[in-house]
Amino acid sequence: MNCDGHDGRVKKMRCGYTTGSCATAGAVAGAIELLTGNVQDNVAITLPTGDTLRIDVKKLSSYRDKATYSVIKDGGDDIDATDGMEIITEITFTPSEINIDGGIGVGRVTKEGLDQPVGNAAINSVPRKMIEYSLKTIFEKFDYHGGANVIITAPMGEAVAEQTFNPNLGIVGGISILGTTGIVNPMSNEAIISTTRVEMNVKKAEGKKIIVMVPGNYGENFAISLPGVDGDNVVRCSNFIGEALDNATELDLDVLLIGNIGKLVKLAGGIMNTHSHVADCRMEILASNCIMAGGSLELAKRIMECTTTDDALKYIKEENILEPVMRILTEKISQRMSKRTNGTIRTAAIVFSSKYGFLGETYNANILLEEVRR
């Protein structure tokens, strides 16, 4: 299956299918075999969009009223940690109702604010509906009036889950069975934004009023190095600071943003997606603000020749204007964050360098930091 991707030009990218579609295909294959006696090697499933998707399946076993099928997850061109995983679905006919649960390698929900209640298998509502709808369609077609128990397992799920956001979200013991459309479109950016929102929702359900937002590993490591700050408040937003602020606004969560100057300097220029493919004006922003802070034209020229912000900081420190430069930059960062959120939540930022450590903070960062510590 191909789908259009757009990154400044149009190209064909191969779509994949979700873990939810894998589980649905396995359940359908098992049901058809139990009702007809015919072993399946591929089945068609109906997606939430109404489209039909055909997926290869492999029979593992069958006996009387029980059949087990396997599907290999295919992420298409949006390769993630679950790509290539085996998703196994066991279906057992019962007198009535359709019950869906997770087995080995499928996580369990331990925190409120997620798609499923605490204690449930991390099989989201859309895959559950897909499985139930597909089975009811098969049952009606073959005039079967009973029910079924469906157990989904993922042999490598517990190991693979360590490469996902599940541990941060409070999902333990394995992966999630996910999917909103049944198809994996090669747009992992949307998945990151969605995951960030889910993580924020979990924090809110835990009673958090302020989140410590970080772009990635560097920000998180610096944040938890601060006295009184632990990982419970930290949410990663990757490059999507603007969208994360939008989500925080909608959820009414105050934000303390902590990040490396290589990312956050872009905010001073109003750049809310900090990926270098979107915009890379780090040196232009640094150079212009150095001039505003009283720096020399020669300094601005040297900064424009730098390839990293740490290189630029070396020259700024040599001219002894780091403090006024950071004061200007953090004021602009504060203004940009406030404008993005329309001032409806409190926002603050702390900026650091991997080489030089703490660089500066917005005027109200200490206030939010103290509240986080409490």
pLDDT of res. 231: 81
Percent of the chain with pLDDT strictly greater than 70: 94
Closest CA to 226 of 238, 215, 212, 208: 212
Which of the two residues, 16 and 292, has the higher pLDDT score? 292
- Those residues with Cβ within 8 angstroms of residue 57's Cβ, 6 or more apart along the chain or in another chain: 25, 26, 29, 40, 41, 42, 43, 69, 70, 71
Cα–Cα distance measured from residue 36 to residue 143, given in angstroms and rounded to the nearest whole number = 11
Closest CA to 213 of 164, 264, 167: 264
Q: What's the CATH number for 2-184? A: 3.30.2110.10
One-character DSSP codes across 56-125: E-EEEEEETTEEEEEEE---TTS--TTTT-EEEEEEEEESS-EEEEE-TEE-EE-STTSSS-TTSBSB-H
- Those residues with Cβ within 8 angstroms of residue 86's Cβ, 6 or more apart along the chain or in another chain: 70, 71, 72, 73, 154, 155, 156
Please provide the average confidence, as pLDDT, over all residues in the chain.
91
Cα of 163 vs its chain's centroid, Å: 12
pLDDT of res. 264: 97
Q: Cβ–Cβ contacts within 10 Å for residue 111, how many?
A: 16
What are the boundaries of each domain within the chain? 2-184, 188-373
Which of the two residues, 354 and 153, has the higher pLDDT score? 153
- Mean per-residue pLDDT, 186-205: 81
Which of 4-18, 42-56, 177-191, 260-274 bottoms out in mean pLDDT, i.e. has the lowest? 4-18
- Those residues with Cβ within 8 angstroms of residue 150's Cβ, 6 or more apart along the chain or in another chain: 23, 27, 89, 90, 91, 98, 99, 100, 101, 131, 135
pLDDT of res. 8: 37
Q: At what angle do helices 309-318 and 322-340 cross, to 10 degrees?
A: 130
**CA–CA distances in Å: residue 112 to residues 36, 107, 201, 204:** 42, 14, 9, 9
Q: Report residue 320's pLDDT band, with 50, 70 and 90 as the boundaries.
A: very high
Distance, first Cα to last Cα, the chain: 51
**Residue 244 token pair:** 């994360």
CA dihedral 129, 135, 139, 145 (to 10 degrees): -60
Q: Report residue 263's pLDDT band, with 50, 70 and 90 as the boundaries.
A: very high
Q: Are 184 and 14 a contacting pair, CB within 8 Å?
A: no
